[in-house]
A and B are shown apart, each in its own frame.
Chain A
C-alpha cells in the first residue's frame, strides 16, 4: 500500500461506529412494518459517508441511493425527480439548499416529501449545515430519528490508521519531557522605579495538567505509539480527515516521530466576506467558484478565493473549493468565535 496515499471511504474498519450502524439497521427493519419515517445521519463527511456506504451495501436490494454533488438549483423540481421506490437513501442532503433568498425551495420540497409519509428516507447531512437549516427552516422537526456521529475516539483513530500498514510502523517519542511539580512557588522580585526599593511578590503556580494526568495513564507508562495517537487525537479533535492529514505530514515510512506531528496552522485575520465564504464552504464541504460568488453576492469573491487558497486555508480540486484538512479545526474555531457558525 502507498504509505502517503490519503485514506478514503471503504478503507475504514468494520468496527466503525458500530452503535450508530445498528441504530440505522434497526430503523430499516422497523420501517418495513411502519413506512414513511425519516432518519437523518449528521456528522463529519468521511465517517458519515462511510456509514451510509455500508448501509447501501447491506440493503442494496431494497435501497435506492441518491447523491448530490453540488447545490441544487432553486428551480429544480426536487420531488418529481426522485425514483419511485419505498426506501430512499439521500447522501450529501445539505446540497438541497443554499444560503440565498429563495435557496430553500428544494429543502422545503424535501420536508414536504417527508411529511407525506409515502417513502422511508435516510438522509445524510453536514453537521454545520444541519445546525443552520434547523435554525432557518426547522429541519430537525422533520425527522423521526437523528443519528449524530460523535468525534472519532482515539482507539478507533489508531485502528483506522494502522489498518493501512501491512508492516509494522516504528513509533519514536523524541518530544522533550517537561518536568512538572503540582504546586510551585517562585517569588518574583520587583524593583519600584526610582525608589530603589525591592518588593517580593509571591507567585504560586498549580499544574492542572498534572492533576488531570493522575486520572489518566501516567506519562512514563505511555508507549511512543500512545503518545503519537494521543497527540493526533488531541490536535484533530476527533476529526478523522484532520488526523489523517496530520499523520501523513509527519510519517516517513516506516517511522513516525512525535515531533513530526506539528501544531495545526494559525488562521490569518480575515475580512467579513472571506469569513462568509468559509462559512458556506464549511457547511457544503465543497463549492465551485461560481456557486460561491452567487451565494456570497460579493464582487470580490474571486480575489477572496485567491487569497484563501494562497494562505492554504482552501484547496482547489476540479474547480471545487474545500477547506484544507489541516485547517478544518482552526477555521471552525475562528468562525465559532465570531458566532458565524454554532
Chain B
C-alpha cells in the first residue's frame, strides 16, 4: 500500500533532446536578458540623474529588475529543455535549490544576502556607507556582490553575504542630503568666539550647503591641552559633493580666520607664550 502511494507521487520529467537549436535559443535568451539589463540600467541611471530628488529610489529598481529578468530567462530556458507541468517545475526548482544549497552555498548565500539587502534596505544604491574599513558610495547591489566607489575612485566589490552578516553604517539612509563634519584646529590663545562665528558663516554661505528646519548647522568647540578644535556639523545638498563641501568650508573659514587674527596651533609651542 505504502509503495503504491510513493509510486504515484513521482514526477516523470520530460527532457527534450539537447539540439543545436535549443543551445542557440538558450544563448540568445541569456544575451537578450544581459542586454536588457544593460539597457534598463543605463536608462534608469540617466533618469535618476535627471530626477535628482528621487535618485536612490529610481536606482533601487535596478537590482529588482536584474533578478526578475534573470529569473525569467532561466524559466524560458528551463521550460524549453524540460517542458514541465507545474508539479515538475516545482520539483525541478526544489532539486535545483538543493544543488545550489550544497554545491555552491557561498554563491547561494550571496544571492540570499542580496535579496535581503534589497528588501530590508539597510542601505540603498547612492548611499554613502562604511563597511569593513571601506567608505564610499554604493554604486550597485548585484545578485552576488555590492559595489562601493571610494573617494579615491576605487571600486570595491563586497560579497552580499558579508555585507548582510556584518555591521554597516549608512551616512544618509536614502536621503540626498547628508551631514558632513568638518574639523579645524586653532591656537589655544585665539578668540574662539570669533572662530566659531566664522566657521558657522563658512558653512551657511557655502554653495554646497543644504539649509532649512531639517538641516540645522551646529558649531562646537573642543578644548585640548595645546590647541582647540572647531567642529562644524552641516548638511551638504548632494552627497556627491561631500568632500567639496568640507574643502569649501575649510578654505573659506581659514581665509577669514587669518584675516581676523586666528592662528593654527604651532607644534611644540607653549600656550599663552608670544610667537
Contact residues of A with B, CB < 8 Å? 99-104, 131-132, 135-136, 192-195, 272-273, 275-276, 279, 296-297, 337-340, 342
Q: CB distance A339 to B238 under 8 Å?
A: yes
19 other A-B residue contacts (CB within 8 Å) besides A104-B201, A338-B52: A101-B201, A101-B252, A102-B256, A132-B211, A135-B215, A192-B76, A194-B28, A194-B29, A272-B241, A275-B207, A279-B207, A296-B207, A337-B52, A338-B238, A339-B53, A339-B176, A339-B210, A340-B210, A342-B211
Q: CB distance A136 to B256 under 8 Å?
A: no
Q: CB distance B205 to A100 under 8 Å?
A: yes
Q: B55 to nearest A CB, angstroms?
A: 10
Q: Total number of A-B contacts with CB less than 8 angstroms?
A: 62
Give chain B residues whose Cβ lies under 8 Å from the Cβ of A104: 201
Q: CB distance A339 to B201 under 8 Å?
A: no
Q: CB distance B204 to A136 under 8 Å?
A: yes
Q: CB distance A194 to B25 under 8 Å?
A: yes
Which chain A residue shows the least CB distance to B252? A101
B51 part of interface (Cβ distance < 8 Å): yes
Instruction: Please report which residues of chain B, range 13-53, place their CB below 8 angstroms from some CB of chain A when the two chains form the complex.
Output: 25, 28-29, 32, 51-53
Chain B contributes a number of interface residues (CB within 8 A of A) equal to: 31
* One of B32, B76, B205, B215 near A101 (C-beta < 8 A): B205
B198 part of interface (Cβ distance < 8 Å): yes
B253 part of interface (Cβ distance < 8 Å): yes
B115 part of interface (Cβ distance < 8 Å): no
* One of B80, B205, B211 near A103 (C-beta < 8 A): B205
Q: CB distance B212 to A131 under 8 Å?
A: yes
B202 part of interface (Cβ distance < 8 Å): yes
Q: CB distance A272 to B32 under 8 Å?
A: no
* One of B53, B204, B253 near A337 (C-beta < 8 A): B53
Q: CB distance A195 to B256 under 8 Å?
A: no
Known: A135-B204, A338-B237. A101 touches B211 (CB 8 A): no
Q: CB distance B201 to A276 under 8 Å?
A: no
Give chain B residues whose Cβ lies under 8 Å from the Cβ of A103: 201, 205
* One of B76, B198, B217 near A195 (C-beta < 8 A): B76
Known: A194-B29, A272-B207. A102 touches B201 (CB 8 A): yes
Give chain A residues whose Cβ lies under 8 Å from the Cβ of B210: 339-340
Q: How far is the CA of A275 from the CA of B210 in the complex (A)?
A: 13
Q: How far is the CA of A337 from the CA of B32 in the complex (A)?
A: 35
B230 part of interface (Cβ distance < 8 Å): no
27 contacts between A and B (CB under 8 A): A99-B205, A100-B205, A101-B202, A101-B252, A102-B256, A103-B201, A103-B205, A104-B201, A132-B211, A135-B204, A135-B215, A136-B204, A136-B217, A193-B32, A194-B28, A195-B76, A195-B80, A272-B241, A296-B207, A337-B51, A337-B53, A338-B237, A339-B53, A339-B237, A339-B238, A340-B210, A342-B212
Give chain B residues whose Cβ lies under 8 Å from the Cβ of A194: 25, 28-29
